[in-house]
Amino acid sequence: MAEKNKKSIEEKSLWEDARAMLRKAEQDGVETAWDRLEQQTPHCKFCELGTSCRNCVMGPCRITAKMPRGVCGADADVVVARNFGRFIAGGSAGHSDHGRDLIEVLEAIVEGETKDYQIKDEAKLRRIAGELGVADAGGGALAAVARAVMEILYADFGSRKKEVAFLGRVPEKRRAIWQSLGMTPRGVDREIAEMMHRTHMGCDNDAASTLIHAARTALADGWAGSMIGTELSDVIFGTPSPKKSTVNLGVINQEQVNILVHGHNPVVSEMIVAAANDPEMLARAEAAGAGGINVAGLCCTGNEILARRGIPMAGNHLMTELAVVTGAVEAVVVDYQCIMPSLLQAAGCYHTQFITTANKARFSGAVHFDIKPATALAQAKEIVQLAIDGFSKRDPQRVEIPSQPVEIMTGFSNEAILNALGGSLTPLLEAIKAGKIRGVVGIVGCNNPKFQQDSGNIGLTKALIQRDILVLVTGCVTTAAGKAGLLLPQAIDQAGPGLQEICGALGIPPVVHFGSCVDNSRIIHLCALIAEELGVDISDLPVAASSPEWYSEKAAAIGLYAVASGIYTHLGLPPNILGSPAVTDLALNGLESLVGASFVVEPDPDKAADLLEARIVSKRKALGLPK
Ligand code: CUV
Ligand code: SF4
């Protein structure tokens, strides 16, 4: 069976750096996600269809034509909807708990408990305070304004509100739709807890009802949890502005102490960057015979420090094990989410130290630091010291850094876009109306070893820019686009004439890096701003979303909040819902009549581009715009 599932190295990844490291992994005896996928294939059919239930011990139950109900009587629709609901709750919890961690850092700043973190973007804090109705947001003492914002956002996690704080950003028409459907997100923790409750045996036994609450849970992620994560990260670490950086495994430096930061929250990675730039640490690295300290990113925490500081990006999800295989990494420092447990084994094959920093993401056998705001920088320096100490243990015979880094442009935020446009959205809207930019698609999310790595991400991105559709990328698609050379202004060569003109004039790439996964909140915010400007709903806009190679619960939550916000969303593979025709039909069709958008599933990137283009054309037509 395993033989049949065996993929060649070329079939596993699009990239030379990945292929070289896959060959080296074979030689070095390092197992990768592709090897384990082979072992796991074929997957359990019930789980794939979503028709197995483990929600109580009268079961577990599997639903088939011959056994159409579980012991309690739940049918396929109920079981699939419940499983999907919990899947969404998991994803929303991830982003939202990340957002909460930023509030805790803001609290530590306000309470004077930390000097390591500060308010870097005071103007943004005051702007947000104004939006949230804080009295004297513009003129009050900074600490008082920060405290007021902190209180309001903390309260978003509870259960006493009728709606979360940033809903003021949502167009009136959209809020009315949510209100009428019972989809208005009230509190982040509340919606997640309620999803767990509804999916307990004997509660919500109506698939559509469960799915509407799943959408509400996802909206609490997009318009609260993730949005808080993004906005407070900007306040504390600075709002991204355009800058150059580099990407791929070639950013790992043979001469230097290499520290890879991996995970999601900038709270830790920012401190590692600060510690690595400390003159005393640099002197120690030199004393250890290294030519400096090189911090590079992986996955979303990589996106955070890439967008804000221009720190190079070593790789996306499926590059994380392969980065270790270079044999040149002294330390992998992780916070949480998307960190393959296998990294510990991979690190163990080399001199690499695997260092965890969050009590909610412990890995047995790892070196652990419980990083706290009050002591973060000192702890980060200890971590950097461990990496420096590891430098002499590196075996030069086992080092192979496979490629030359590719240049990229990064650092776009809504503020940066407005700035580039001269302070108002009007030039962007004019370009859209004239059909020079026919539409905008956010391509986001992960890698999944079920696909040739990044072939979907790149295939779709290229196909869309050729059709004059502007692409915004976040998460792991960033690295893919960067490696393909698409995040540079000169990539307009590969775009249609309209994008060539507009992006050319602005000096921006046709594929714009918008940050990490929580920063998808920037994209929905931008959609809301455009909709407000045009006096329409988000669902009326020529925009769409896509996650060609998604894998995670978080990606599903993002997809669902996009759809519930009125954005047509493409997925490269379906969630585990196909065992219920009712749930599947609701996701692919029924949602359209409820929220004005739905999911579409298509593995082939060119066909997906056709579908997204057709959607954009239909929205343009309805707005009375040329094709
Ligand atoms: Ni949060 S969720 S693999 S790191 S984008 Fe990357 Fe992004 Fe998916 Fe994870
Ligand atoms: Fe089976 Fe129902 Fe229990 Fe699920 S909740 S395991 S379907 S008896």
Instruction: Say yes or no: CB of residue 547 within 6 Å of ligand 1.
Output: no
Which residue is associated with the tokens 């430098």? 391
Residue to mutate, 338, 447, 547, ligand 1, most ligand atoms under 8 Å from C-beta: 338
Q: What is the CATH number of domain 243-398?
A: 3.40.50.2030
Distance in angstroms (rounded) separating the CA atoms of residues 259 and 268: 13
CB count in 10 Å sphere of residue 368: 16
| DSSP letter for each residue of 123-161 | HHHHHHHHHTT-TTTTTS-HHHHHHHHHHHHHHTTSSS-
**Helix 376-391 and helix 266-276, axial crossing angle in degrees, nearest 10:** 60
Cis peptide before 242 (omega within 30 of 0): no
Could you read off the pLDDT of 117-145 as tens digits, one per residue?
Answer: 999 999 999 999 999 999 999 999 999 99
Residue nearest to ligand 1 atom 1, measured at CA? 517
In the chain, % of residues over pLDDT 70 = 99
User: What is the rounded average pLDDT of the residues 561-585?
Assistant: 98
Residue 324's pLDDT band, with cuts at 50, 70 and 90, is: very high
Which residue is associated with the tokens 């004439």? 497
Residue to mutate, 51, 78, 201, 203, ligand 2, most ligand atoms under 8 Å from C-beta: 201
| DSSP letter for each residue of 199-227 | TSTTS---HHHHHHHHHHHHHHIIIIIHH
1 or 253, which is more confident: 253
Q: What is the CATH number of domain 412-622?
A: 3.40.50.2030
Instruction: Say yes or no: CB of residue 63 within 6 Å of ligand 2.
Output: no
Instruction: Say yes or no: CB of residue 552 within 6 Å of ligand 1.
Output: yes
Instruction: Say yes or no: CB of residue 220 within 6 Å of ligand 2.
Output: no
**Annotated binding-site members for [Ni-4Fe-4S] cluster:** 264, 300, 338, 446, 476, 517
Distance in angstroms (rounded) separating the CA atoms of residues 17 and 453: 12
Distance in angstroms (rounded) separating the CA atoms of residues 528 and 534: 10
Task: Please give the class, per CATH, of domain 76-237.
Answer: mainly alpha
- The answer to whether residues 281 and 385 touch, using CB atoms and an 8 Å cutoff, is yes
Question: Which pLDDT belongs to residue 627?
Answer: 87
In 456-601, DSSP assigns E strands to: 469-473, 511-513, 543-547, 568-571, 599-601
Could you read off the pLDDT of 517-565 as tens digits, one per residue?
Answer: 999 999 999 999 999 999 999 999 999 999 999 999 999 999 999 999 9
Residue 320's pLDDT band, with cuts at 50, 70 and 90, is: very high
Give me the residue spans of the domains in the chain: 76-237, 243-398, 412-622
Instruction: Say yes or no: CB of residue 60 within 6 Å of ligand 2.
Output: yes
- The answer to whether residues 228 and 115 touch, using CB atoms and an 8 Å cutoff, is no
Residue to mutate, 260, 298, 316, ligand 1, most ligand atoms under 8 Å from C-beta: 316
- The answer to whether residues 485 and 510 touch, using CB atoms and an 8 Å cutoff, is no
User: What is the rounded average pLDDT of the residues 208-218?
Assistant: 98
- The answer to whether residues 558 and 214 touch, using CB atoms and an 8 Å cutoff, is no
CA of 82 from ligand 2 middle (Å) equals: 11
Residue nearest to ligand 2 atom 2, measured at CA? 72
CA of 524 from ligand 1 middle (Å) equals: 18
ipTM: 0.95
Could you read off the pLDDT of 438-489 as tens digits, one per residue?
Answer: 999 999 999 999 999 999 999 999 999 999 999 999 999 999 999 999 999 9
Question: Which pLDDT belongs to residue 3?
Answer: 64
Instruction: Say yes or no: CB of residue 308 within 6 Å of ligand 1.
Output: no
Same fold, 76-237 and 243-398: no
Instruction: Say yes or no: CB of residue 260 within 6 Å of ligand 1.
Output: no
Instruction: Say yes or no: CB of residue 203 within 6 Å of ligand 2.
Output: no
Distance in angstroms (rounded) separating the CA atoms of residues 178 and 546: 22
Strand, coil or helix: 527? helix
**Which residue, 474, 553, 549, is CA-closest to 33?**
549
Question: Which pLDDT belongs to residue 1?
Answer: 47
